[in-house]
Amino acid sequence: MSKLFEKNLASFSLRSEKSFGRKYKEDPPKLRTEFQRDRERIIHTTAFRRLEYKTQVFVNHEGDMYRTRLTHTIEVAQIARAAARALQINEDLTEAISLSHDLGHTPFGHAGQDILNECMKNFGGFEHNIQSLRIVDKLENVYPSFPGLNLSFETREGILKKCNKTHAKKLGDVAMRFLKKEQGSLEAQLTNVCDQIAYNNHDIQDGIRAKKISLEQLSTVSIFKNQMNLALKEYPKLSKSKIVNETVRRIINLLVGDLITNSKKNIEKYNIKSPNDVRICEKEVICFSNEMKKENMNLKRFLHKNLYKHPDVKKMTDKATIVIRDLFNAYSQDIDLLPKPFLKHNMLKIKENEAERVICDYIAGMTDRFALKEHKKLY
């Protein structure tokens, strides 16, 4: 079946039938490819459902119109799939990696991750990317014959987009490329860039909607200004919300178009013929042209300075820091505050002196609203 479904893929694409396989042996799926099976397992996890109530930049209860981690994830998957098809690389694998790329995020976005990492500094630290892998490998607990989701090697390797050497040594084969200084697959590289395209652009829209940044401010960023002017030239009487929408639409189109064209050029330039050529290539193959890299970087810098460091956003992140630190301290002082079934499931780890990791997993899995509710209950 996978031969039929993957017959249009280029020679440098990963293929289900050549997968390095799953940790626990399973019969091949009858009506879909291995990577489709991965994608479908990811969608049915509790971690995936909880993305709906996790912050991207704005807290979920601030309004129903803002992105959440779930809508962000769907946008990444949409952009990445379209680009994967244009590049003739594996769309199912790209989608599986995209849908799982943010599973490991804590409540309250990056602020949550930073404080949880600080709480865990003497116990191995916390990194959302490694947590995503931990969720699909170990924490999801639904199948009778294996822990986690037993995903194929290529999906797991794609989820792990960065990793330091200490962690890589502990994680084994899935992290080997970080020790060997090899590249991720084209599907993994693509997801990574599409993640950036998605969040930069939706943060513009959400930032304007929340009145934290203005059109005037954004007009200092050349890519925004140019695309807005083109939109206004074609539609001079556009309302403000449609100007934003049309400009963002054009920027995404421009970035994705540049990404596909430039990546195709790189495939030629580096003489990429097989997945192994990608792996041993000195440079990343999927990337913007130099000109677009600069434009994109300017946009990123703008958002960093004007949106992520905006006093109102900072107020939210300060609150997040307090909530997470308090929760960590409360559970550390009395581990019996954790729910009974969770405690029972993790008893062995707690006995083996891994109580902090168990607490960390519990907090990282929380949604924003659950963390706030739990904090109110305990303090």
Q: Which residues are near Mg ion by CB under 5 A?
A: 102, 195
Taking the complex as a whole, how short is the minimal distance between the CB of residue 130 and Mg ion, in angstroms? 15
Give the shortest CB-249-to-Mg ion separation in angstroms: 20
- Residue 323: CB minimum distance to Mg ion, A: 22
What is the rounded CA–CA span in Å between residue 110 and residue 127?
A: 10
Of residues 80 and 327, the one with the C-beta less far from Mg ion: 80
Choice between 95 and 195, CB closer to Mg ion: 195
List 55's β-bridge partners, or say none.
68
The nearest distance, CB 369 to Mg ion, in angstroms, is: 20
Q: Is 34 left (phi over 0), alpha (psi -120 to 50) or beta?
A: alpha
Pick 195 or 206: Cβ nearer Mg ion: 195
- The separation between the first and the last C-alpha atoms of the chain, rounded to the nearest angstrom, is 56
Cα–Cα distances in Å, from 283 out to 121, 184, 185, 280?
32, 10, 12, 9
How many other CB atoms sit within 10 Å of the CB of residue 170?
11
SS3 assignment, position 63: coil
The nearer residue to Mg ion, 102 or 361, going by C-beta atoms, is 102
**By C-beta, is 110 or 279 nearer to Mg ion?**
110
Q: What residues have CB less than 8 Å from 50, skipping those under 6 apart? A: 365, 367
Considering the complex, what minimum distance in angstroms separates the CB of residue 76 from Mg ion? 6
CA 207 vs CA 48, 59, 198, 232, 302: distances in Å:
25, 12, 14, 21, 12
